[in-house]
Amino acid sequence: MTPLGAIAHLALAVLLPPLLLGVIQRTKARMAGRRGAPLLQPYYDLAKLFSKGIVLSRTTTWVFLAGPVVAVATASLASLLVPFGEKAAPVSFAGDLVLFAYLFGLGRFFTVAAALDTGSSFEGMGGAREATFSALAEPALFLSLLVLVIVRQSFSLSGLVGEDQSALWATAGVPVALACLSLFVVLLAENSRIPFDDPTTHLELTMIHEVMLLDHSGPLLGLALLGAAQKLLVQSALLVRIAVPLPDGPEPLRWAAFLAAILALGVVIGLVESTMARLRLRQVPMLLIAASLLSAFGMVLLVR
Amino acid sequence: MSEVLNPLLVLVLLFNFLMLGTSRVAAVINAAAAQGTLLGVAYLAMHGGSGVRALALGLAMIGIKGIAIPRILRGALRSQGIRREVEPFVSFTTSLLLGAVATGLSVLFARTLPLAAGDAEALLVPASLATVLTGFIVLTTRRKALTQVVGYLTLENGIFIFGLTLIEAMPFLVEAGVLLDVLVGVFVMGVVIDHISREFSSIQVDDLTELRE
Amino acid sequence: MAIVSAALAVAAIALAAVSGLPGLWLARERPAPDRLAASLLGLGAICAASAALLVAAGAPDATLALPWRVLGERVTVGLDGLSAFFLLPIFGIASLGSLYAVGDFPAAAHPRNARRLRVAFGLLASGVGLVVIARHAFAFLAGWELMALACFFSITAEDEREEVRRAGFVYLACTRASTLALTGAFVLLHSASHSFALDGLAQIDPATGRAVFGLALVGFALKAGAMPLHLWLPGAHAMAPSHVSALLSGVMIKVGIYGILRMASLLPPLAAGDGAGILALGAVSAVAGVAFALGQHPLKRLLAYHSIENIGIILMGVGLALLGRSLGNREVELLGIASALLHVWNHALFKALLFFGAGSVIHATGEGELDRLGGLAHRMPATALLFGVGAVAICGLPPLNGFVSELLLYLGLLHTLVEQGGAPRMLAGAAVVALALVGGLAAACFVKAFGVVFLGEPRSAAAARAHESPRSMLAPMAVLALLCVAIGVAPQIAAPSLEAAVRSFDPGLAAAGPGLREVAPFDSISLGAALLLGALAAAAAVAARRVRWPAPRDATWSCGYAEPSPRMQVTASSFADTLVGILRWLLWPEVDAARVAGPFPEPARLDTRLPDPVLDRVALPVARRLAEASTRLRWVQQGHLHAYVLYILIAVVVALLTTRGDLG
Amino acid sequence: MSPVLLAVAVPLAFALAAFAMRSERARPWMVPAAGVCQVPVVVWLLAQRERFAPADGSWTGLDPLGALLLGYLCVLFGCCAFYAPPYLRLRSERPNRVFCSMLLVLFAMMNFFAVSQHVGLMWVTIETTTLSTAPLLYFNRNRRSIEATWKYLLIGSVGVALALLGSFFLGYAALHAGLGSSLVIGDLVANASSLSRPWLHSAFVLLLIGYGTKMGLAPMHTWKPDAYGEAPGLVGALLAGGFTSCAFVGLLRFYSICVAAGDGAFARELLLAFGLLSMAVGGVFMVRQRDFKRMLAYSSVEQMGILVLGTAVGGVGLFGALLHMLGNGFAKGVLFLSAANIHRHFGSKSTDEVRGALRILPASATLFLLGFFAVTGAPPFALFLSEFTILRAAVSEQRFAVAGAFLGLLLLVFIGMGATVLTLVQGEPLAGRERPAARPERVQKLVPIVALLALVLLLGVWVPQPLEAALWSAARFVEGIR
């Protein structure tokens, strides 16, 4: 991996996420029978936010500022651990899957802390929910990664993605399928998508991620939204690279296939969001535990 | 030997029952005194001829157990006032029955112990154990402090009966020391009872339960 | 060279032991005795650090025979890698703690308690030190008890408070139980080896070895506070003065870990099941510890349950190392022991930091209940920043030190999962999941604690009047925070000490097989940490460029509500409510909630408590029952002389009957 | 007259002198004076131990057990005696003639017991000890103390009577075997194998119960809480440390006859049962005990249990038991004397009224607390060393159940006793009792306690070579390894 490649990778990780959001929104609009906003609408939104000024709450401290900053930084770094179109990620070492998971933990820590920093009851509530559900999502994430660790005998994300997906599906199809399903659930939960959270709702009482951002404005809000979108992209990329065999061709072909797969996943998320209702908050833990059990079952199939 | 001893021991046993059956404190004291005197007599009968020391000891025994100690006890009885009943926790009939059982057990237990040739036919061991047990019965079933001293005295008497077998083994000084200790012990007890009767309204051991858990 | 290092260690212990004594003769009101104690302990720390550095630099193991014989056998102390590894945090935290006490617990403010505490604190440090360098059963137990008693007096420094006394007594009972278990273990050891010396034990027969290890494990786990033997820990940590809590949690409970490691390295190899058992014990302790921490409202009590969690994580490493050793998997053993050891250091650093932070908050507000704090970051910015560093570190998040040791543990578990079969494999898988869950829950818990204490609006007048703590309290915290960052960014600095400790834990492991630096991805961690710091700087730069300073300030947007009050903020209880509800089956929370009914309900309040599962639900009720049963036995001693004589008669009769039984 | 009787004569002479003395103020100083004068005598006797070893058929002499006891009593009394003058000065309202002379008689008789080699003589001395204690217990002259004295006297007398019966049985066992009529321990041991078994067994049972009553083994311990609870602290210290140790040594002498007769196993089982029962009773009755002096009595019951338990385990355990005897005596001295200081200041011995002693009497309360840790066997105090040794013996004899029960009971005792002790010393004094000590606590009342504490600690970390040798030779003597 050349430094240039790494920079390109990083650039993609910063630039691509709004597009993924656009795809999801467009899919949802189409499913609802609307034309929907342009695909690039999220870029316009971000640009607008970055050019605005901000108003801060008198209650807040530096922690409030740290929330969005850390979210973007951690998601960017996490992206370096996941191979996009390339064979191996720019940064890869034994155990980087732990770093991957814990980076998002760091981001979440500061996002939630920033929410609590405002002293608003709504934002605090959102923070509590975020902390609760992600704590439950963590075992599910690790369980699904464990399935792959056992199959691939490797401790890095690049190793888990590996060279040869078709062999992966052939040798351990059922466990890997279960793990992918579980990963998908985790992805929806971690990124506050339906059925866990509705990013477009307007009732503060029921929200998770958006309610934490009530007091953010201008560039800070932009950073926070960008960070969230990056997280979605990075986690989608991981799922895509595990689930979808990329063609064994030249580099540009692989990148193109990767992009197509990512956008296809965006469509799938949009479809899910259009066809499902948001769960009651009390039922959210059940779904996460179910996801853990899926992976656990996959693991039992492997090690029995 | 046993032709002299056995009748004496039977008498000792009779006094045991008397002690258990009587309701007057004075009578109980008298029974213990008579028992002590009998012991001295028995001692003299067994060993009186063997020398001046034995003679002196036998006489001292009669003097202490038959005269001195009962005097102390009677003095204490007099100082305590009007109540001269024994006031046992169990009825006199039960006491007597207990005494009978104790005597029977003593005979049984004594049988399991091998005896030296000379003592084989004597009632010595059963009588001794029965008297010890009688002492225990008095100690555990009689309410008054004074009667408990008598119980202790009876216990000692029982032990002295056994001691009769061992005159040669016990040096004179030790035997005298034992006797003296008993005397002093009862004397101290008498003093304590005196103080108790001054501190407390009556000599009921029942009242002496302030120190408890 | 070797003798120098051992002598330095002894000097450190002696300095610590006398550190509080001069204060007994100096005026109470002056700060001089506090400063003197801190200086003596600081000097001790320098000695200990030099000794540890010498060992890390390769000084050979040293043994020092003291001019002291117990029952004909020379008492020896010694310094090897393992001892040195523990010695460093012991004296480091102790000296920082005594410095902290200059500000937090000055004699002038606590005229009745400070002198006693100063003496006990120094003795506590010296006792812990003696334990880790003892090479003789008797010296070990003497150090152990010195530590236990000094610790008792440190915990009960403020004995005018009823709850302090109660916590102290629970501690005292537990520590005696642990001493007795250890006594049993050493007795067994002596009967097998016919010596008090703690070496050359590898030849004793394995069955005895296991029995010794079992007994010792009970004693050490009691001291370490592993669930379910943790019953003394939350109360003691919560009630002790803060610098004592820091020393307890940071150092003293680690002696239990030291003991387990020392025993395991001395005794003949254990069965795989033993390592697996400790691994499972650690996992249980970690999950249950963090789960119970979630529902705690007093800040120090919350931190105490996190000590149980972290001891669990350390024990997982220990168990993994033993498992690896008995399975012959060198990589697993190395990763297990390295993670356990490194976490010992890490936990000492960040937990001491957190307890200092909690103490600083209590010092400033007089309030330790989470739900009466809030908004302190405005008035105590330095404390907030340093506490925040500790909070991130304890959650095991990069780029701080907690991440490094947890990563090593994950790697060890993953190796087991991939390379072993059967039960160890399943166990490793379960342990990974448990560790992940622990990470998630710990993050939830600490974001709650940090947020509720330092962010938002003050929830009480006391919190609103808070002031920043003096520099003598902040400086120790700053040192600890810097070390947390240093180990997180450059874990290589710990490597020499770690390697020396691993050498004395299992010389065979160090001699053959892969080296620590080959197995542990220290360089990659450094790279990751550097990248993360870079990314943070970049993102911060972007934000700084985009935001126009000073930004206008206004009230928090509260969704249109006109009169928000600080009491409407999320509290610690409400933050954790959902998680506590999900874990209800494990935690059994006690909830007092009034029913709210009708259109105009009465004022109502909600109280939630989380009684300790072992102490409050088992140990205390059982103890109370036993005490009642024994008071019921009092009827045998009611003052009736007749009965007393009867007892004698019964004793005679029964004993005589047994002799008859003998003869048939 | 054997020279060993000099150890009896010196204190007896002081007792007479004290009795004859006029001055109430000077008289108490006779007690420490006797303690001091005793030292050279004992040192001389112990140095020439070989010379004074009991000759055949001699009634007195210094066997290893006696030598150990004699030395130990000298040290214990030497420390405690210095507590008497300051104590009696505080109680100047009461004549101390009887108290001082009886204290010295008690000391003389304990020494006499140590050098007695004749079963009958042992009995006489122990009974005299009992009687001389009665006036000491009654020193306070109130209802409670008279009740305690009465119970002490009666139970003690009954126990001693049983011991007498046991002594007679022992004599008969010899007589029955045709061994003539010697009741000297040495002769009995030498001819033990031909003693009549049934008589020997019954004799041992009775002697165990009799001397056990004096020691305060459960269930014959009932006098102990009353007597210790009401006695002045000084008397409590001498009873709990000295008197019970004498009874224990007596028991060991009889046990040695059993061992010599080849009946050690039988005796050991009995000792084990009484030992465990005593530990359990001591522990159970200490739980929620509010009267701290009674608590000390139950602690003594438990310690006696440990002594016989160690004896029962045998071998190293016996060594441990003897060491424990010394440690217990010194620790009890610390506890009783410091408890007396606390009792005196607060005017109460109930934890309902005494709180926060550390605040009001820092020195005494600290010593009391340290005494508690010492007596419950915290390392590195001597009692830890001895308990460790006993445990070691139990394990090497493969008696794991005993070892387990021992550890469990020690925990029970620690928790039970600790609760009371800590209630007493910690916390705030109750309202109305905050009165601090008028001036720093009187040094004279602290020095003896500190000395005793130093001894317990010293024996824990370093047993001097001669003492270790003496302990070993006593242990071997008991078990017949010559």
pLDDT of residue C28: 67
Between the CA of residue C421 and those of B24, C362, C424, what are the distances in Å? 90, 51, 6
A11 pLDDT band, cuts 50/70/90, is very high
pLDDT of residue D373: 95
CA distance B177 to chain D (A): 6
- The span from the CA of C46 to the CA of A24, in Å, is 61
Residue A175 has pLDDT above 80, yes or no: yes
Contact of A70 with chain C, judged by CB distance below 8 Å, is answered with: yes
Inspect the interface and report whether the beta carbons of B139 and C642 lie closer than 8 Å. yes
CA distance C623 to chain B (A): 20
The predicted-structure confidence for D234-274, as pLDDT tens digits, reads as follows 999 999 999 999 999 999 999 999 999 988 888 999 999 99
* Mean pLDDT taken over chain C: 91
- The span from the CA of B165 to the CA of D41, in Å, is 40
C46 pLDDT band, cuts 50/70/90, is very high
Residue D177 has pLDDT above 90, yes or no: no
Residues of C in contact with B140 (CB under 8 A): 642-643, 645-646, 649
pLDDT of residue C664: 39
Alpha helix stretches (DSSP H) within D62-184: 64-81, 84-90, 97-115, 119-137, 143-176
Inspect the interface and report whether the beta carbons of C639 and B209 lie closer than 8 Å. yes
Inspect the interface and report whether the beta carbons of D151 and B156 lie closer than 8 Å. no
Residue C662 has pLDDT above 50, yes or no: no
pLDDT of residue B120: 60
Residue type, A96: D
Inspect the interface and report whether the beta carbons of B169 and D134 lie closer than 8 Å. no
Q: Cα torsion at C129, C133, C136, C142 (round to 10°)? A: 0
The predicted-structure confidence for D400-455, as pLDDT tens digits, reads as follows 999 999 999 999 999 999 999 999 999 888 877 666 655 567 888 899 999 999 99
B117 pLDDT band, cuts 50/70/90, is low
CA angle D438/D444/D449 to nearest 5° reads: 110
Contact of A136 with chain C, judged by CB distance below 8 Å, is answered with: yes
pLDDT of residue D223: 94
pLDDT of residue B168: 66
Under a CB-based contact definition with an 8 Å cutoff, are residues C652 and D221 in contact? no
What residues are paired with C608 via a beta bridge? Answer: C591
pLDDT of residue C106: 86
Among D residues 92-131, those touching chain B with beta carbons less than 8 Å apart = 118, 120-121, 123-124, 127-128, 130-131
Higher local confidence (pLDDT), A130 or D482: A130
Among A residues 48-67, those touching chain C with beta carbons less than 8 Å apart = 50, 53-63, 65
Residue C354 has pLDDT above 50, yes or no: yes
What residues are paired with C136 via a beta bridge? Answer: C197
The predicted-structure confidence for C133-189, as pLDDT tens digits, reads as follows 999 998 999 999 999 999 999 999 988 889 999 999 999 999 999 999 999 999 999
Inspect the interface and report whether the beta carbons of C543 and A220 lie closer than 8 Å. yes
Q: What is the three-state SS of chain A?
A: CCHHHHHHHHHHHHHCHHHHHHHHHHHHHHHCCCCCCCCCHHHHHHHHHHCCCCCEECCCCHHHHHHHHHHHHHHHHHHHHCCCCCCCCCCCCCCHHHHHHHHHHHHHHHHHHHHHHCCCHHHHHHHHHHHHHHHHHHHHHHHHHHHHHHHHCCCCHHHHHCCCHHHHHHHHHHHHHHHHHHHHHHHHHHCCCCCCCCCCCCCHHHCCHHHHCCCCCHHHHHHHHHHHHHHHHHHHHHHHHHHCCCCCCCHHHHHHHHHHHHHHHHHHHHHHHHHCCCCCHHHHHHHHHHHHHHHHHHHHHHHC
The predicted-structure confidence for C267-282, as pLDDT tens digits, reads as follows 888 888 899 999 999 9
Distance from the first to the final alpha carbon of chain C: 71
Inspect the interface and report whether the beta carbons of B166 and D226 lie closer than 8 Å. no
Residue D37 has pLDDT above 50, yes or no: yes
The predicted-structure confidence for D145-162, as pLDDT tens digits, reads as follows 999 999 999 999 999 999
Q: Do chains A and D touch (3 or more CB pairs under 8 A)?
A: no
pLDDT above 70: percentage of residues in chain C: 99
pLDDT of residue B2: 61
pLDDT of residue B100: 94
pLDDT above 70: percentage of residues in chain A: 98
Under a CB-based contact definition with an 8 Å cutoff, are residues C275 and C325 in contact? yes
The predicted model gives B156-164 an average pLDDT of 88
- The span from the CA of B198 to the CA of B92, in Å, is 29
Name the residue in chain B with its Cα closest to that of D227: B211
Residue C95 has pLDDT above 80, yes or no: yes
Number of domains observed in the structure of chain D:
1
Q: Do chains D and C touch (3 or more CB pairs under 8 A)?
A: yes
The closest CB to that of B212, out of C638, C649, C663, belongs to C638
Residue B82 has pLDDT above 60, yes or no: no
Which token pair is D467?
């003492």
Name the residue in chain C with its Cα closest to that of A202: C559
Contact of D136 with chain C, judged by CB distance below 8 Å, is answered with: no
Name the residue in chain D with its Cα closest to that of C627: D287
Q: Which domain holds residue D256?
A: 3-479
B33-44 as b/e: b if 16+ CB within 10 A: bbbbbbbbbbbb
pLDDT above 70: percentage of residues in chain D: 97
Which range, of C355-369, C386-400, C590-604, D73-87, averages the lowest pLDDT? C590-604
pLDDT of residue C477: 96
Under a CB-based contact definition with an 8 Å cutoff, are residues B127 and B9 in contact? yes
pLDDT of residue D434: 62
Inspect the interface and report whether the beta carbons of B185 and D153 lie closer than 8 Å. yes
* Mean pLDDT taken over chain D: 91
Q: Do chains A and B touch (3 or more CB pairs under 8 A)?
A: no
pLDDT of residue A173: 84
A183 pLDDT band, cuts 50/70/90, is very high
Distance of CA D423 to the CA centre of its chain: 27
N residues, chain D: 482
Task: Determine the residue among A54, A99, A103 to mutate to test chain C binding: the one whose Cβ has the most chain C Cβ atoms within 10 Å.
Answer: A99
Neighbours of chain C (3+ CB pairs under 8 A): A, B, D
- The span from the CA of D400 to the CA of D418, in Å, is 27
The predicted model gives A91-112 an average pLDDT of 94
Inspect the interface and report whether the beta carbons of A58 and C436 lie closer than 8 Å. no
Among B residues 59-118, those touching chain D with beta carbons less than 8 Å apart = 112-116
Residues of A in contact with C444 (CB under 8 A): 131-132, 134-135
pLDDT of residue C663: 46
Contact of C114 with chain D, judged by CB distance below 8 Å, is answered with: no
Q: Do chains B and D touch (3 or more CB pairs under 8 A)?
A: yes
The predicted-structure confidence for C554-575, as pLDDT tens digits, reads as follows 888 877 777 778 888 888 888 9
The closest CB to that of B139, out of D158, D175, D226, belongs to D158
Residue C635 has pLDDT above 70, yes or no: yes
Residues of D in contact with C647 (CB under 8 A): 219-220, 222
The predicted model gives A219-226 an average pLDDT of 92
CA distance D198 to chain B (A): 6
Q: How many Cβ pairs within 8 Å bridge chains A and C?
A: 261
What is the CB-side half-sphere exposure of residue C608 using CA atoms within 13 A? 21
- The span from the CA of C615 to the CA of C618, in Å, is 6
N residues, chain A: 304
Distance from the first to the final alpha carbon of chain A: 38
Q: Is the pTM of this model over 0.80?
A: yes
Inspect the interface and report whether the beta carbons of D198 and B113 lie closer than 8 Å. yes
Inspect the interface and report whether the beta carbons of B140 and C637 lie closer than 8 Å. no
Inspect the interface and report whether the beta carbons of B189 and D230 lie closer than 8 Å. no
The predicted model gives C395-413 an average pLDDT of 94
Inspect the interface and report whether the beta carbons of A135 and C444 lie closer than 8 Å. yes
- The span from the CA of C80 to the CA of C503, in Å, is 9
Q: How many Cβ pairs within 8 Å bridge chains C and D?
A: 152
